[in-house]
Structure 1
């Protein structure tokens, strides 16, 4: 077929006469695709390096903040009730309820430790602070009931129904209840952050550790989360300055 041969009678590839220069155009297109792929790989590597670098910096900052706070407050953390210096009030931080309203083990241990403080004469009042934003979820009330079952008189228990976060509890302890000195009752993983927040918000505090059992099944999660929580606490104290739910002052010494 004439269309398939050049002047010398040599058979050419199909379409060669119809599309002169097609081979070179295909070669150029391939080179362009290769160049684009190379640039994409370079950009991907650069983004990966930047992401890894940012991750390393973030981990270093979080770790450094945690180390600084723990070093600053380590001498305010007590493991034995008999060693705790007397303070007017123990702040018992909420830590969740089960669906049936019973205290989670971590919260039950906090209330039990606070009751032990009270019976030892180390504090005169318990400030039970927790979440009560929903009608069917009342941490402070259940904390009170458990403390009473452990022999603490109800008249010496004060309830803070708006302690939704540690920041809120410390803020309200000073602003609403007039607390200037306190013993914070919490577990070790949370102790440094609680001290940092109370110190920043005007409450001179020490901590009694309420680690009364092995929390190994959750401890890794809590410890990991605490790095982020401490960074957020620093941000609240130094940048955001959020206001919790407030109300009329109710000095704890007058209750």
Structure 2
């Protein structure tokens, strides 16, 4: 092994530098091309068709603090009359793990002044690319405010705009989280941006398509059958 490394050290070094340069270039491009569309002040946001709240970890029906922060910000954007509908997009690929219904039930449990008809649910938002693709193709969203934390916001806006959505990002404050947590988010995000760049470049398909439910219709059409009857 040592002999192999000595023999091929130069090639390995050049390859490593090349890969690192590509990763860095893609990250810079995604951040720089989207930063003008990212806001931290709700009052300055433009008016759009829908707010898209991206899912995050839940435990049974309890939202993680990350997701709770996103959802509250999304509700406040609706309150500010920046959109008429809210799309909750997340992972509901298994019966025992359900981000979207957890978000919807949180809104209802907290008695937020949002009508059921305004709440749309994307049960197949397994990653950010799937969420944005389906927002465009399944929910026919033409303009949106995407809500997520700062580390994630540029990639989200980049994907949405690349797919044809007039997208703006609301960056949820993440300063209350530990520095080590934020560092890990940002380190992982560098690689995830490369995947997003690849998905956009190849015009990848989402995990699932499905029946169209326009964001201008009744959001309850996107709810689970069992939940509709309750």
TM-score when scaled to structure 2? 0.88
Give, in whole Å, the separation in 2 of the partners of 1:212 and 1:222.
Answer: 11
Equivalents in 2 of 1:44, 1:127: separation in Å?
Answer: 51
1:136-187 Cα distance to aligned partner (Å, 9 max, x none)? 1111111112223433222211111000010001010011100010000011
| Residue 241 of structure 1 pairs with residue 204 of structure 2 | yes
Aligned pairs for 1:1-255 (under 5 A) are 43-98=4-59, 100-148=60-108, 149-211=111-173, 213-216=175-178, 217-239=180-202, 241-255=204-218
Figure out how many residues of one structure are paired with residues of the other and give that number.
215
> Looking at CA atoms only, which structure, 1 or 2, has the larger radius of gyration?
1
Residue 240 (structure 1) shift: 6.0
Taking the aligned partners of 2:116 and 2:213, their CA distance within structure 1 comes to 17
Q: For structure 1, which segment, 238-247 or 176-185, has the greater mean C-alpha deviation from structure 2 after superposition?
A: 238-247
Structure 1 residues 241, 212: closer, same or farther in 2, change over 3 A?
A: closer
Consecutive unaligned residues in structure 1, runs of 5 or more: 1-39
Write the distance in 2 (CA, Å) between the matches of 1:240 and 1:197. Answer: 11
Contact map agreement 2:135 2:141 (CA 8 A) in 1: yes
Higher relative contact order (CA 8 A, sep 6+): 2
What are structure 2's unaligned runs of at least 5 residues? 219-230
| d(CA) in 2 for partners of 1:112, 1:212 | 14
The RMSD of aligned alpha carbons is 1.6
Tell me the distance in 2 between the aligned counterparts of 1:115 and 1:240: 31
Q: Distance in 1 between matches of 2:174 and 2:194?
A: 27
TM-score (norm 1): 0.80
* Structure 1 runs, 4 residues or longer, greater than 3 Å off: 40-43
Cα distance in 1 for residues equivalent to 2:47 and 2:203: 33
